[in-house]
């Protein structure tokens, strides 16, 4: 199918890459379908791109790539809600707010997006815990990661 994005242009993508968010995500409750884009230029930031509104793409991180001690408890009913039977099908993302000054970017650790990659289902959880800030400064961890390696463009 043709995916249109304002930020990255249009491209063909296999429909199996679509991720359905039955409840949308807070702030975008009306958007139910996304894809996760991996763009070489912005790695380790990925993009949660709406397939319904080409202008909506949210930078996200995979916390386990950047944060050694990120820990969340996902409840059985939440896994069941996404039909996750095998933990290997689970992907966790955090939305990143990127202001004009890149070093001020923050990741929302309190609201992880959990995705069943196999069945293409996603949900944003809200976890009220002192150790999970909504605005966690993430720039330093990204720069540290970049001093590692690189690869090419694709989709998860």
Partner 1 sequence: MLVLSRKTGEALAIGDDVIVEVVLIDGDRVRLGIHAPKDTRIFRRELLEETAIANRSAANAPKISFEQE
Pick out residues in 111-140 that bind partner 1 (CB under 8 A). Answer: 111, 124-128, 134-135
Q: Which stretch binds partner 1 (CB under 8 A): 14-22, 41-49, 64-72, 83-91?
A: 41-49
**Interaction between residue 144 and partner 1 (CB under 8 A):** no
Distance of CA 83 to the CA centre of its chain: 18
CB of 65 to partner 1, least distance (A): 14
Answer yes or no whether residue 69 interacts with partner 1 by CB under 8 A: no
Q: Contact with partner 1 (CB under 8 A): which of 22, 27, 137, 154?
A: 27
- Does 153 bind partner 1 (CB under 8 A)? Our answer is no
Residues 79-117, buried b or exposed e (16+ Cβ, 10 A)? beebebeeeebbbbbbbbebeeeeeebbbbbbbbbbbbb
Tell me whether residue 14 or residue 149 sits nearer to partner 1 (CB atom).
149
Give φ, ψ of 59 to 5 degrees. Answer: -70, 140
Cβ neighbours of 41 (radius 10 Å): 7
- Shortest Å distance, C-beta 13 to partner 1: 20
Bridge partner list, 107: 96, 136
Position 143 contacts partner 1 (CB under 8 A): yes
DSSP H stretches of helix in 18-138: 63-66, 76-81
For residue 120, give the nearest of 36, 61, 52, 5 by alpha carbon.
36
Question: Rounded to the nearest whole angstrom, what is the least distance from the CB of residue 25 to partner 1 in the complex?
Answer: 6
Beta carbons of 78 and 72 less than 8 angstroms apart:
no
Shorter beta-carbon distance to partner 1: residue 1 or 102:
102
* Residue ranges in contact with partner 1 by CB under 8 A: 25-28, 40-43, 45, 55-59, 75-78, 95-100, 102, 106, 108, 110-111, 124-128, 134-135, 142-143, 146
């Amino acid at each position: 199918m043709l995916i249109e994005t304002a930020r990255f242009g249009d491209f063909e993508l296999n429909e199996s890459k679509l991720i359905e968010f039955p409840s949308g995500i807070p702030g975008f409750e009306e958007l139910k379908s996304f894809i996760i884009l991996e763009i070489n230029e912005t790695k380790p930031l990925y993009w949660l791109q709406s397939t319904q509104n080409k202008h909506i793409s949210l930078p996200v991180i995979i916390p386990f790539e950047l944060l050694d001690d990120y820990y969340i408890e996902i409840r059985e009913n939440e896994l069941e809600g996404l039909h996750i039977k095998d933990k290997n099908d689970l992907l966790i993302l955090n939305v990143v707010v990127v202001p004009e000054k890149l070093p001020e970017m923050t990741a929302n650790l309190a609201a992880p997006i959990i995705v069943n990659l196999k069945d293409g289902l996603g949900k944003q959880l809200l976890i009220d815990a002192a150790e999970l800030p909504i605005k966690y400064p993430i720039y330093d961890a990204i720069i540290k990661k970049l001093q590692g390696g690189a690869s090419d463009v694709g989709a998860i």
